């Protein structure tokens, strides 16, 4: 998604390590999911922006071999794998451009969407470049959109996914909190700003979880996996403001393999 764009270079060792973890699971854990085709939908948090090692044919979608869908597919060998998640995707663009990968034989679907619908990238820009009052106002506007307009977008997307893939097990993943409060950061945003941004992420995850449940899908949070690895922690799995700028506020390779992959694997 364009909303949370932050990542660092990934190592091929990550792929090997995660593949080993997948093989070590009980054979029954992923056998049914692997038997059908797997389709990875969504925004930049699913495409792997910030994780480096981008597939040459993915262009500005920046699909990474270090992203959790690619790592899961490498470890579990589904009968087919369509990796169509794209940086900047919204609920409507996922519905309009990615669902062609689904069909009646699709067995497993993953998706992240919603952050771009409420302009989270713009929120972070306001918070980084402007004062506290502007930041808090921008966060408040995003929270209002999350509560009032996002539910219908998610409901429409999830309904379209179910229509295209009626037999699929659909896993909807959430977003991490960005900041460890009272952490190691000595400059940058205020604690009040960081707390507001974390709260907005919690509200976003709550709305996504409810809509996923209403659709009969499985919601998998990544908050626990990222706890202790937020910005201002000693070992952040997210990029702060960095170059190239699209990396900012996106998971690094470690965030994909250590955060998103376990959350998806447990739900898949």
In order of start, what are the domains of the chain with their CATH numbers? Answer: 12-267 (3.40.50.1110)
Residues 6+ apart with CB under 8 A from 24: none
Distance CA 214, CA 193 (A): 32
Task: Give catalytic status of residue 44 as yes or no.
Answer: yes
Q: Which one of the listed residues 2, 44, 46, 201 is annotated catalytic?
A: 44
Distance CA 67, CA 195 (A): 28
Distance CA 43, CA 20 (A): 27
- What per-residue confidence (pLDDT) applies to 186? 84
Task: Give catalytic status of residue 250 as yes or no.
Answer: yes
pLDDT band with cut points at 50, 70 and 90 for residue 32: low
pLDDT at 159 over 60: yes
Task: Go through 59-91 and write b for each residue having 16 or more CB atoms within 10 A of its CB, e for each that does not.
Answer: eebbbbbbbbbbbbbebbebeebbbbbbbbbbb
Distance CA 72, CA 242 (A): 27
pLDDT at 1 over 90: no
Q: Which one of the listed residues 64, 239, 250, 257 is annotated catalytic?
A: 250
- Residues 209-233, mean pLDDT to the nearest whole number: 98
Distance CA 112, CA 219 (A): 10
């Amino acid at each position: 998604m364009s909303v949370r764009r932050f990542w660092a270079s990934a190592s091929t060792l990550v792929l090997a390590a995660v593949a080993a973890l997948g093989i070590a699971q009980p054979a029954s854990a992923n056998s049914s999911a692997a038997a059908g085709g797997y389709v990875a939908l969504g925004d930049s948090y699913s495409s792997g922006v910030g994780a480096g090692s981008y597939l040459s044919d993915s262009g500005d979608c920046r699909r990474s071999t270090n992203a959790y869908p690619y790592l899961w597919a490498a470890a579990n060998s589904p009968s087919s794998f369509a990796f169509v998640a794209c940086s900047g995707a919204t609920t409507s663009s996922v519905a309009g451009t990615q669902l062609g990968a689904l069909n009646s034989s699709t067995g497993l679907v993953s998706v992240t969407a919603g952050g771009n619908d409420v302009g989270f990238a713009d929120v972070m820009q306001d918070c980084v470049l402007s004062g506290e009052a502007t930041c808090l106002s921008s966060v408040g506007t995003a929270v209002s959109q999350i509560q009032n307009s996002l539910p219908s977008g998610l409901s429409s997307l999830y309904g379209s996914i179910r229509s295209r893939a009626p037999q699929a097990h659909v896993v909807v993943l959430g977003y991490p909190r960005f900041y460890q409060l009272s952490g190691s950061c000595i400059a940058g945003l205020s604690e009040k700003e960081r707390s507001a941004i974390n709260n907005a992420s919690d509200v976003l995850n709550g709305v996504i979880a409810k809509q996923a449940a209403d659709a009969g899908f499985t919601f998998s949070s990544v908050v626990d996996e990222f706890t202790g690895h937020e910005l201002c922690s000693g070992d952040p799995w997210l990029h702060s403001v960095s170059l190239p700028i699209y990396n900012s506020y996106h998971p690094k390779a470690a965030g994909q393999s250590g955060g998103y992959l376990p959350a998806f694997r447990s739900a898949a």
